Amino acid sequence: MIPVQGFSGKTVAVLGLGRSGLAAVAALQAGGAEVVVWDDSPDAETKAADAGVTLTNLTKHGSFKDIATLITSPGIPHLYPEPHPVIARALAEGCPVDNDIGLFFRSFATSEWDEFDSIPKVIAVTGSNGKSTTSALIHHILEHAGRPAQLAGNIGRGVLDLDEAHDGEVIVLELSSYQTDLARALTPDVAVFTNLSPDHLDRHAGLGGYFAAKRRLFAEGGPDRAVIGVDEMEGRYIANQLSEGPSDDRVIRVSAGQKIDGIGWSVFARKGFLSEYRKWRQVGSIDLRAISGLPGVHNHQNACAAYAACRALGIGPRVIEAALISFKGLPHRSQLIAEKVGVRYVNDSKATNVDAAAKALAAFSKVRWICGGLEKEGGLDALLPAPTVVKAYVIGREAAAFAMKLKGLNVEVCGDMATAVAKAGAEAEAGDTVLLAPAAASFDQYDNFERRGDDFAACVAELAD
């Protein structure tokens, strides 16, 4: 646990008693704070009692008179489409609002670090797609290189659940826009931006607000090194703002499709080969094509970002290459579930938006595509014409409406996962890939994308070999 500093003897309010909220309660108490909480769920009283804190209605006038700060969970809206009533009350009464990420950055460093030979580092990863794989890949490379490391944030453990840092340790954090948007402290040593595509637009009042939330990690944090994906204009904009010129190697530009050799430091992948250029000459190269845990151009971008972040810490190219080869990938992200009679079954349930699904489709040839769910803003046109798709099998409560938007494709409305997997499996031929890449949220039929991916895997297991 990371005891929270700066609130000893003060009262702090926590909104939301999910994973991050409960961790915040414990970490604040460990730092000497008096904690009160509010949660909207029916079992809030039980949760509060189990955590040893007082459930307090914080929506009333004057609720924040004696409260030093309000800590909110990332899933709770704090501005758009409208703030939660407790947050609205805190804003009205001038109480600072923060989250567990802000608490982590203000509390991670301690006086004990004065005795360390090597100061701990923090790598923070954000972006629309690939941040989970990139974060896990960085962590995997660090462990392979023998560097002590912990992985947390939007993946794995909550940030305040981390163990206190060891000498020379590296903390890898995956940060969502919900987390970067509100944190009052953001000070990573290395910050990574993978890419940007429309997502969570309701929470950020459009694409501009969504980008601004991501950009805060770089504008507010002032990292020593920034790894920036520049395949979109937003990434090029961030890189330009952080750099003092072409020779400034504090910014490492990353691409999954273009050669970048006219600047101080770059890492890019073309035709399956990763190249590192520094001071206008190539200093490293890796063949990514045969690495089974990193299929497709989108995963090559993830590999470039992870490679660059680890090179910024001084890890050698050959060490990184060996780690990439041994990486098995993450569940629900281009995960090979099975191969039956020459047909591969791949679970990419995490492809919850159009851009992620398009990249997943491009990673395979002859795809039998299982898609559908709770459609996000922006429509499906960016997926088309989807030349690798042999046939689409649409699931979800609004499967018929979703299917109608897949113009030009051979489409069958299936409704549920079991039907879609059974039909795709029966029609697939050797060399085909049955791919779950929904291009939609899961909440119409599942609690989360993990449950959806697990259902896909269970249905595949029922198919005959």
Q: What band does 36 get if pLDDT is binned at 50, 70 and 90?
A: very high
320 and 366: one domain? no
**Rounded to 10 degrees, what is the CA torsion of 265, 268, 274, 276?**
-10
Residue-number span of the structural domain to which 162 is assigned: 103-326
pLDDT in tens, 129-181: 899 999 999 999 999 999 999 999 988 789 999 999 999 999 999 999 999 99
Contacts 24+ apart (CB under 8 A), 16-22: 16/72, 16/73, 16/75, 16/76, 17/41, 17/44, 17/47, 17/48, 17/51, 18/73, 18/75, 19/158, 20/73, 20/74, 20/99, 20/100, 20/158, 20/159, 20/160, 21/71, 21/73, 22/47, 22/51
Q: Is residue 6 included in any domain, yes or no?
A: no
Nearest to 101 by CA among 231, 243, 216, 255: 216
28 and 110: one domain? no
* Statement: residue 221 has pLDDT above 80: no
What are 172's two structure tokens? 């890898």
186 and 278: one domain? yes
Q: Is residue 163 included in any domain, yes or no?
A: yes
Domains contained in the chain, number: 3
Is 342 one of the annotated binding-site residues?
A: no
Alpha-carbon gap, residue 452 to 363, rounded angstroms: 21
**What pLDDT shows up at residue 109?**
94
Q: What type of residue sits at position 221? A: G
* Statement: residue 290 has pLDDT above 90: no
125 and 16: one domain? no
Of 464 and 416, the structure prediction assigns the larger pLDDT to 416
Mean pLDDT of 89-115: 96
Is 69 one of the annotated binding-site residues?
A: no
Final residue of a domain: which of 301, 326, 351?
A: 326
Is 127 one of the annotated binding-site residues?
A: yes
93 and 41: one domain? yes
Q: What is the CATH number of the domain that holds 160?
A: 3.40.1190.10
Final residue of a domain: which of 326, 345, 374?
A: 326
Q: What band does 16 get if pLDDT is binned at 50, 70 and 90?
A: very high
Q: Is residue 172 included in any domain, yes or no?
A: yes
292 alpha-carbon distance from chain centroid: 21
Bridge partners (DSSP) listed for residue 1: none
pLDDT in tens, 298-357: 899 999 999 999 999 999 999 999 999 999 888 898 888 999 999 999 999 999 989 889
Q: Is residue 48 included in any domain, yes or no?
A: yes
19 alpha-carbon distance from chain centroid: 16
Q: What band does 104 get if pLDDT is binned at 50, 70 and 90?
A: very high
Q: Is residue 182 included in any domain, yes or no?
A: yes
Alpha-carbon gap, residue 461 to 465, rounded angstroms: 9
110 and 205: one domain? yes
Spatial contact of 244 and 221, defined as CB atoms under 8 Å apart: no
Q: What is the CATH number of the domain that holds 25?
A: 3.40.50.720
Is 128 one of the annotated binding-site residues?
A: yes
**What pLDDT shows up at residue 81?**
94
Alpha-carbon gap, residue 404 to 411, rounded angstroms: 9
260 and 319: one domain? yes
pLDDT in tens, 358-389: 989 988 999 999 999 999 877 899 899 999 99
350 and 437: one domain? yes
Is 266 one of the annotated binding-site residues?
A: no
Final residue of a domain: which of 73, 98, 123?
A: 98
Task: Compute the mean pLDDT over every residue in the chain, rounded to the nearest whole number.
Answer: 93
165 and 244: one domain? yes
Q: Is residue 318 included in any domain, yes or no?
A: yes
Bridge partners (DSSP) listed for residue 55: 37
315 and 360: one domain? no
**What pLDDT shows up at residue 280?**
87
165 and 283: one domain? yes
289 and 373: one domain? no
Mean pLDDT of 185-196: 96
Q: What is the CATH number of the domain that holds 383?
A: 3.90.190.20
**What pLDDT shows up at residue 292?**
80
Which sign, positive or negative, has the C-alpha torsion 358, 363, 368, 371?
A: negative
Is 11 one of the annotated binding-site residues?
A: no
Q: Is residue 3 included in any domain, yes or no?
A: no
pLDDT in tens, 132-142: 999 999 999 99
Alpha-carbon gap, residue 111 to 336, rounded angstroms: 46
Is 195 one of the annotated binding-site residues?
A: no
Q: Is residue 26 included in any domain, yes or no?
A: yes
**What pLDDT shows up at residue 284?**
92
